[in-house]
Amino acid sequence: MAAKRKRGALPAGKAKRARSAPGAGEAAPEGGPRERSIPPQENSGPPQEYSIPPPVSQGKWKNKERVLIFSSRGINFRTRHLMQDLRTLMPHSKADTKMDRKDQLFVINEVCEMKNCNKCIFFEAKKKQDLYMWISNTPQGPSAKFLVQNVHTLAELKMTGNCLRGSRPLLSFDPIFDREPHYAVLKELFIQIFGTPQYHPKSQPFVDHVFTFTVTDERIWFRNYQIIEEDASLVEIGPRFVLNLIKIFQGSFGGPTLYENPHYQSPNMHRRLLRLSVAAKFREKQQVKEVQKIKKKGTKVLVEEDPTEVVFETPAEEKPVEIQLVKPESKPIVKDKKKLRKIQRKKQKKLFRTEG
């Protein structure tokens, strides 16, 4: 009885031959990959082997930047979608559970250390309507705090572009980022956080979209555009949002203040000014009404009394006072007019009979 042979083992006396390139007369097997045929050379020995170079993405991953993107409890659906969009656009990002409101911000440094991340984007929600964003270089710093406004996500119909998932972006900055020192610090933070490291395992070796950071009206406007190959035009993909800088700190999520924005106005102050403006308009309307009333009273001209008007006044005749000693007969309350007429006719007939 023949012994069973193990799977993948070769019988004795047979060795596995190395695959060589097929000659000019040999054809590639059906269903297999097509290989380029090498023409035979004169006076050549055995066929030479060749290798296909590896893809570009298999290079050495040196810049090991990892970004932790998470939020606090109490965020709304729009913030949650924005956070998810940033995670999909940044293949070097990591996620974590929501942080409790009672925890202090310096706890985030420990969370980043446990997640093996050296950068962090933290969304902080307050009063269920105000959204703040922290970007930080953990654990040494610096860090910056922004107020996020005008958020639009990838899922909205306004964004018509599309890009490859995991592709590397180009970063475009406004020229003012090179002039002002506080903007230079933010530029370096943005480069390290939003720039996908080269040869990252989850990234693709393509550059097909652009992140733009533009400074207008003392705010940073973030946009994401797709690069179209045909005519090199740009189509917006999303997400889009506006960052209003509040402070830049020396440490991570705290420490000495390096810069404070003098043009920043808190959302509470903005809402208070709106309420005061509405109240001022109401007071102005009330004052206008009072002034109009005073004007109407003041415009009336009082004419002096004319002494000749007394001549045309005729005194009314004085009627003698009659005292009625007999109680008047009570009139019957009749709702029907026909019955009332019958009663009146009966009374008239009685009067005629007494007179006759």
**Confidence (pLDDT) at 57:** 53
Task: Give the best-scoring range by mean pLDDT among 9-13, 272-276, 312-316.
Answer: 272-276
Question: Mean of the pLDDT values across residues 167-190?
Answer: 93
Domain boundaries, the chain: 67-269
Q: What is the DSSP string of 7-68?
A: TTPPPTT--PPPP----SS--PPTTSPP-PPPPPPTT--SPPP--PPPPGGGS-------EE
95 pLDDT more than 80: yes
**Confidence (pLDDT) at 18:** 44
| 319 or 244, greater pLDDT | 244
As a whole number of angstroms, the distance between CA 331 and CA 275 comes to: 66
As a whole number of angstroms, the distance between CA 257 and CA 246 comes to: 11
Q: Give the tokens for residue 158.
A: 């306004």
**Confidence (pLDDT) at 222:** 95
The architecture (CATH level 2) of 67-269 comes to: 3-Layer(aba) Sandwich (3.40)
Q: Which of 163-167, 259-263, 329-333 has the lowest mean pLDDT?
A: 329-333
Residues 132 and 118 sit within 8 Å (Cβ to Cβ): no
Dihedral-angle region of residue 31 (phi above 0 means left; psi in -120 to 50 means alpha; beta otherwise): left
Per DSSP (E only), the strands in 140-297 are 143-152, 167-173, 204-216, 219-227, 234-236, 240-251, 254-260
**Confidence (pLDDT) at 22:** 44
33 pLDDT more than 70: no
CA nearest to 189, candidates 202, 171, 216, 201: 171
Residues 161 and 236 sit within 8 Å (Cβ to Cβ): yes
| 341 or 48, greater pLDDT | 341
177 pLDDT more than 90: yes
CA nearest to 198, candidates 92, 76, 79, 312: 92
**Confidence (pLDDT) at 45:** 56
As a whole number of angstroms, the distance between CA 175 and CA 107 comes to: 36
pLDDT in tens, 315-333: 788 888 888 888 877 776 6
120 pLDDT more than 80: yes
**Confidence (pLDDT) at 79:** 92
CB burial readout 293-312, b (16+ within 10 A) else e: eeeeeeeeeeeeeeeeeeee
DSSP state of 174: -
| 46 or 323, greater pLDDT | 323
**Confidence (pLDDT) at 27:** 42
Q: Which of 39-48, 127-136, 184-193 has the lowest mean pLDDT?
A: 39-48
Question: Mean of the pLDDT values across residues 248-262?
Answer: 93
Q: Which of 46-55, 61-70, 130-139, 159-168 has the lowest mean pLDDT?
A: 46-55
Residues 93 and 74 sit within 8 Å (Cβ to Cβ): no
Residues 163 and 228 sit within 8 Å (Cβ to Cβ): no
Question: Mean of the pLDDT values across residues 170-180?
Answer: 93
